[in-house]
Amino acid sequence: MNTETETAALLREIRSDLKHLRDEVRGLVSRVHRWDTTYRVEVRELVSRLDTWETTYRALDKKTQNDVRRKQYADKRRHREEGLMSLPTRHVLSFRNRLLVPKIAEWAKVGMGFARRDQPGLFVTWVVHQWNNRTYLKKPVTFSSSSFRVWNGQCRSAIGTRDLMHFSERKMSMPPLRGPDEHDDFSKRPWWEWGRSVMYPLYEEMQRRGLDEPRYRDSVRFRRCLQLLIGCFNMFEVIPGVYWDFQESLININLMLRKVGTDFQYMLRAVHKGLRVTGSDSPVNIP
């Protein structure tokens, strides 16, 4: 009897303990569920904040990269344009720009090396490129749609190759002028002004550096070819008593072209090549 009573009491006690344990487990599960819900909400909020920070960082990083890239471009442009000058407010071919004096001295120094090798064509191509691509902030002479665009002090005027310098790529020698009309056109070609405003002072500077001295006695053709671009200013006697001059009579020009037409065409081809170069890299290696 006592044993049964003790067993029943023990079972009630176990049942009570199990109920209490069950309640505690349920409470724990409820708390875990609440914690899980809170945790999930906090994690989602944290992920959202991280996404916002990442978006902001990417935007800032992109802006920083763009700022760095713009600064690099600006530095490159500033370095590229260092020492360059603005285009003049006068016709760039006829204007004798005094600001070119330092450049002309540099070109003359390089030109002496070409003179020693008797390479007038290479030198003229190099000089024209230097003048057109590496002197001014914008090119004085550009090329587009089969014609040149020449800066006239206000804007660019279109002009064909023949109208600019009486040059035709298909011919190896300058042919005689065919009549008074062609003679009139020939005498007024705009590029002859460039010979007076740029090539003539350059040639004078080279003379000051000794171009006419005996050590350059093998550079006769070099001097003759440069004088053909200069015109009458250097008193180049082509035939006895007749000096090279774009304004000479039709008869005399044709007589002179029979003697120097090949060299003159060769020099105009060198000019044309220099003008057609688009970049700042020289098409000619300096000797």
Domain map (residue ranges) of the chain: 1-82, 98-276
How far is residue 76's CA from residue 87's CA, in Å, rounded to a whole number? Answer: 21
Amino acid found at 148? F
Amino acid found at 134? R
How far is residue 267's CA from residue 86's CA, in Å, rounded to a whole number? Answer: 28
Instruction: Give the per-residue pLDDT at 169.
Output: 84
Instruction: Give the per-residue pLDDT at 54.
Output: 72
Separation in Å, CA 133 to CA 55, 130, 221, 279? 45, 6, 27, 7
3-class DSSP state of 239: strand
Instruction: Give the per-residue pLDDT at 77.
Output: 59
Instruction: Give the per-residue pLDDT at 172.
Output: 84
Run means of pLDDT, 10 residues per run, the chain, 287 residues: 68 71 69 69 72 74 70 59 83 93 96 95 97 94 94 95 92 90 96 96 96 90 96 90 95 96 96 94 91
DSSP notation for 127-163: HHHHHHHSSBSS-SEEEETTEEEEE-SSSEEEE-HHH
Say what percent of the chain tops pLDDT 70: 84
Our measurement of the distance from residue 97's CA atom to the centroid of its chain's CA atoms, rounded to an integer in Å, reads: 23
Instruction: Give the per-residue pLDDT at 210.
Output: 94
